[in-house]
Structure 1
Amino acid sequence: GLSCAHHLAKYHGIKSVAVLEKGYLAGGNTARNTTTIRSNYITPEGIAFYKEGVELFERLSQELDFNVMFSQRGQLTLAHTEATMRSFHMRAEMGKHMGTRTEVVDQKGVAELCPLLNMDYGGPLEILGGLWHADGGTARHDAVAWGYAAQASRRGVEIHQRTEVQGFEVAGDRVQAVKTNRGPVACGQVLIATGGMNYDVAAMAGVELPIRCYPLQAMVTQPLKPWLHTLVSSVSLHSYL
């Protein structure tokens, strides 16, 4: 939502924009993501879409005049089966064709990229190789939100925190106002940018979206001194660090 507000104001001159936030900036879905930024997908459409996202983050600190702590440290996805290795070869070739830095690495390559991994384990989760995506990185989600908020606010966008959307006033097929816990907000256009809650919010306006939200689980530790210098993920374990 903050990104859309920033782009509307900066690149399209649309400044009569209000961002409605149920809680506090960077406290909702923004604070509950794993911050992985990558473009190592398998379809041309997916690669092109996420490649543009990676390129955006590469220049985002300059764009916002705010350090979003983007670290392009690369992503290493581990393979524990031959089938996964075959799929990695397909993804690597498609990635190269689409202009991303993606390649398959063998066990030696994995060990060189991430020496802390146990390469001697011979069980069902033995590491056979990996997909190395040098373009992958991470950023601080709260810094991204604050940077967008600062730039949008400077350009006249109104940001209303602790403003919960409770419904819509609809006439025909048009939304006339957004109902909030602080009163109605008249509007000409509504943009729903609530991530996994898009289905529920759209339903308030009588619109049924063909999507559903299924939660993933993540563990958060106390702050630790960095000890992994790459992003590491495992297809078989459905996990990443």
Structure 2
Amino acid sequence: MPFNLLKYGLSADYPAEVDLPPPVELKPRYDVVIIGAGGHGLAIAYYLARYHGITKVAVLDKGYLGGGNTARNTAVIRSNYLTPEGVRFYSESVRLFKNLANEFDFNIMYSERGQLTLAHTDATVRAFRQRAEVNTHFGGRTEMLDRQQVAELVPTLNMDPGHLPVLAGLWHKDGATARHDAVAWGYAKQAAKHGVEIHQLTEVQELVIEQGRLTGVKTNRGTVQCGCAVQAVAGHSSRLLDMAGIRAPILSYPLQAMVTQPFKPFLDPLVSSSALHCYVQQTSRGEVVFGGGSDPYPLYHTRSTLELKESLMAAALEMFPFLAQARLMRQWSGTTDMTPDYSPIMGCSPVDNYYLDAGWGTWGFKATPICGQTMAALIASDGKKVPELIQPFALERFSRFQQVNEMGATAASH
């Protein structure tokens, strides 16, 4: 082993496989330009190339691969939503996640651990019963637990936090986590193998629209012509929509999280409480992650605040008081693009050849595979065949008053 390691280190020709090819110049034209090299943009590129044979694709990002919200989330995967449309959509995403490592031949560290959402009032218990029925009917694995079952599932949980005793819990067996950057790199690696170009540090400055039809994209590295383009830029969705002249009900809010020093394993499920505005999970490395609701004011900046840290820690200690002496290692923030009904905007736009993947709020990571698959199918059909799973999430639902209301479906309310 030492000799082989030395031989490998001194070799001029490394046998290791390179994940991504070296950067290249932008071509004058592409069939598809994808704005945003996060999980969604890379997934769309991968499914276009592998399953639809569309390989003349450029993925553009003003920063670096997976450096936006993909790098700033808490990597939760689940499908326990409120509406039939939401449950069907996210259940399919969970199904795809389970086989993603095999499809990539790339370890995304997928770990099915279950998610427990706490009910502190009789009204919440009634709402959870309905939610469990909807999830079961439309393909999710969700059930109600009584107080004793909750205590047995999470022995370290404080069952009587202040004035909010735990009455019951919503147990979602499909709740899981995965390594967020591994998901992005897995999609990027496989997309590049199929001929997709990934251009980092390439900022879109203007969308070239002629007579209501998108024909090209102007960047800091030059203008490229394209058959169509799709925006997948998460918190900056409204800025791209402004460039396209499209009105959409999206506001961007900061969303913060933090993590402690590592501990020996004590918490397997993900535990959340919308009443306390907090969720807690322990990573495979032993760190304890805390997350909560969005900041109460629109802002594009990804900065952390002492105010949120104090309120989030107070809520977490209500659930797990013994963590009072834990030391925080880091705190971070992402930018969430929120819609009025807390559901995404997917599909065609008022501009011909311009597709929307926006409005994901706090649930974008868990939708990565199914978003890539459905948006790729839509683009491959030239916008003529909208996949059934994303038809309810069209932009037109707001003018038709057909919202898909997922308010309250988050692990911590916003």
Which residue in 1 is equivalent to 2:80? 40
Which residue in 2 is equivalent to 1:172? 211
CA distance in 1, matches of 2:216, 2:261: 43
Which residue in 2 is equivalent to 1:10? 50
Secondary structure in structure 2 of the residue aligned to 1:176: strand
Secondary structure in structure 2 of the residue aligned to 1:217: strand
TM-score (norm 2): 0.56
Greater CA drift, 205-214 or 171-180: 205-214
Please tell me the residue identity of whatever aligns with 1:116: T
Which residue in 2 is equivalent to 1:212? 251
CA distance in 1, matches of 2:123, 2:174: 24
Between Structure 1 and Structure 2, the one with more strand by share is: 2
The 5 A counterparts of 1:130-169 are 130-169=169-208
TM-superposition CA deviations, 1:174-205 (whole Å, max 9, x none): 22221112121221101000112212112112
TM-superposition CA deviations, 1:28-62 (whole Å, max 9, x none): 11112221111111211110011011101011111
Q: Is residue 80–residue 124 contact of structure 1 (8 Å, CA) maintained in 2? A: no
Which residue, out of 254, 257, 270, partners 1:231?
270
Secondary structure in structure 1 of the residue aligned to 2:169: strand
CA distance in 2, matches of 1:147, 1:234: 32
CA offset at residue 209 of structure 1? 2.1
CA offset at residue 222 of structure 1? 4.6
Greater CA drift, 58-67 or 171-180: 171-180
Whether 1:203 and 2:242 are equivalent positions in the alignment is yes
CA distance in 2, matches of 1:34, 1:227: 18
CA offset at residue 64 of structure 1? 1.4
CA distance in 1, matches of 2:42, 2:68: 13
Q: Which of structures 1 and 2 has the larger relative contact order (alpha carbons within 8 angstroms, sep 6+)? A: 1
CA offset at residue 70 of structure 1? 0.9
CA offset at residue 17 of structure 1? 0.4
Q: Percent identity?
A: 61
CA distance in 1, matches of 2:264, 2:65: 26
Shift in CA distance, 6/117, structure 1 to aligned 2, threshold 3 Å? same
Q: Is residue 87–residue 139 contact of structure 2 (8 Å, CA) maintained in 1? A: no
TM-superposition CA deviations, 1:141-172 (whole Å, max 9, x none): 10000000000000000000111111112211
The 5 A counterparts of 1:43-122 are 43-119=83-159, 121=160
Q: Is residue 64–residue 201 contact of structure 2 (8 Å, CA) maintained in 1? A: yes
Shift in CA distance, 122/191, structure 1 to aligned 2, threshold 3 Å? closer
CA distance in 1, matches of 2:185, 2:262: 21
RMSD of the TM alignment (CA)? 1.5
Shift in CA distance, 122/223, structure 1 to aligned 2, threshold 3 Å? closer
Which residue in 2 is equivalent to 1:23? 63
TM-score (norm 1): 0.94
Q: Name the count of aligned residue pairs.
A: 240
Please tell me the residue identity of whatever aligns with 1:27: G
Q: Is residue 165–residue 179 contact of structure 1 (8 Å, CA) maintained in 2? A: yes
Which residue in 1 is equivalent to 2:401? none
Please tell me the residue identity of whatever aligns with 1:161: Q
Please tell me the residue identity of whatever aligns with 1:202: L
* Runs of 5+ consecutive residues of structure 2 not aligned to the other structure: 1-40, 281-414
CA distance in 1, matches of 2:217, 2:44: 18
CA offset at residue 225 of structure 1? 5.1
Which residue in 1 is equivalent to 2:226? 187
List structure 1 segments (4+ residues) > 3 angstroms apart after TM superposition: 220-227
Secondary structure in structure 2 of the residue aligned to 1:170: strand
* Runs of 5+ consecutive residues of structure 1 not aligned to the other structure: none
Secondary structure in structure 2 of the residue aligned to 1:220: strand
Q: Is residue 39–residue 50 contact of structure 1 (8 Å, CA) maintained in 2? A: yes
Please tell me the residue identity of whatever aligns with 1:135: D
Secondary structure in structure 1 of the residue aligned to 2:62: coil
CA distance in 1, matches of 2:83, 2:254: 24
CA distance in 1, matches of 2:279, 2:161: 21
CA distance in 2, matches of 1:149, 1:224: 33
Shift in CA distance, 31/222, structure 1 to aligned 2, threshold 3 Å? farther
Q: Is residue 79–residue 129 contact of structure 1 (8 Å, CA) maintained in 2? A: yes
